[in-house]
Amino acid sequence: MSQATTTATSTPERRRSRPSHRRTPVGTYVGLGALFLVVLFPVYYGIIGSLMGVADTNAFPPALWPTHGLHPGNYGDALRIIPLGNQYLNSIAQTALITAGQVVTSALAAYAFVFLDLRWRGLWFGLFLSTMMIPYESIIIPNYLFVSSAGLKDTVAALALPFLATGFGTFLLRQAFLAFPTELRDAARVDGAGHLRFLRSILLPLSRPTLAALGIYSALSAWNMYFWPLLVTTKAEHQTIQIGIGQLQSSDGDNPGMVLAGVVLALLPTLLLVIFGQRFIVRGLTAGAVK
């Protein structure tokens, strides 16, 4: 952020000093506006379409905005056709368990990697990182066989268990812990704080931005999961909302508004996360990209 001040002071001067290079932003606005329309159209139509009746959506060419009044009843219809309410709760439970689990296991592991004496530290850490290189789909069959033979199909446990630990989260928190001033740790130690107490009441509160990044990232990926929930749930009332909206289409493809209402319901939490938590998302996502 310190760059912002230098930019602010140098900008007007730069523009003035070379008038021939002053860029008219008109082209940029036009290009940006055009891309805006194209890129954001599915977002717009997903939301507006969820309020449109069949007179609009099934006409040809279909209306681009409601011309026959709004139909909020689409939402009620979506909730009636499949147990979206149940599925919503399943998604919430799955997301909460996975997010909490990942934060806890990553925090404990990262603490060990940074603050505790550990033989073959590099080897252990490499083992954690290696889990990130294994695409989930390549081990999904044995996981399915295991969960199904353990009788866990159609349970929240099946939805969450395989994802309670993450190499990425451990890596992220380790980076944050490494930046922690050693003096503070020593001071806490002198004051008699044990490992768990130090972790919980000092380290984690001070690592809040990274925790938020990890939490949001975990929640987003858990909420949006598709393949695994599709496999381990069979009955509609045990499925997650992501599976539900896929089903919505096949159960009533003749009313796109109702299908899109389901989409909006499934989308709402993540949409809010992306709008209000973007700062943290960027931090989490770019942990691997920015040197």
* Region 116-145 residues binding other proteins, contact defined as CB under 8 A: 116-119, 121-122, 124-129, 131-145
CB contact at 8 A, 57 and 256: yes
Q: Quick check: 259 binds other proteins (CB under 8 A)? A: yes
Q: Which is nearer to other proteins, 61 or 205 (CB)?
A: 61
Question: What is the per-residue DSSP string for 14-41?
Answer: HHHH-GGGPPPTHHHHHHHHHHHHHHHH
Q: Which is nearer to other proteins, 23 or 205 (CB)?
A: 23
Total residues at interface with other proteins (CB under 8 A): 120
Q: Quick check: 281 binds other proteins (CB under 8 A)? A: yes
Over the window 70 to 109, marking each residue x when it contacts other proteins by CB under 8 A and - when it does not, the resulting string is -------------------------------x--xxx-xx
Stretch 213-232 residues interacting with other proteins (CB under 8 A): 221, 223-227, 230-231
State in angstroms the smallest separation of the CB of 141 from other proteins. 5
Please choose, from the candidates 210, 179, 180, the residue with its C-alpha nearest in 3D space to the C-alpha of residue 279. Answer: 210
List Cα–Cα distances, 15 to 3, 18, 30, 32, in angstroms.
Answer: 18, 6, 21, 22
State in angstroms the smallest separation of the CB of 30 from other proteins. 10
The residue from 19, 60, 190, 192 that contacts other proteins (CB under 8 A) is: 60
State in angstroms the smallest separation of the CB of 76 from other proteins. 19
User: Which string of b and e fits 258-273 if b means at least 16 CB within 10 Å?
Assistant: bbbbbbbbbbebbeeb
State in angstroms the smallest separation of the CB of 274 from other proteins. 4
State in angstroms the smallest separation of the CB of 69 from other proteins. 18
The residue from 90, 94, 95, 170 that contacts other proteins (CB under 8 A) is: 170
- Radius of gyration over every alpha carbon of the chain, rounded to an integer in angstroms: 25
Q: Quick check: 243 binds other proteins (CB under 8 A)? A: yes
Stretches 60-68, 74-82, 151-159, 204-212: which one binds other proteins (CB under 8 A)?
60-68
Torsion angle of alpha carbons 256, 262, 266, 267, nearest 10°?
A: 40
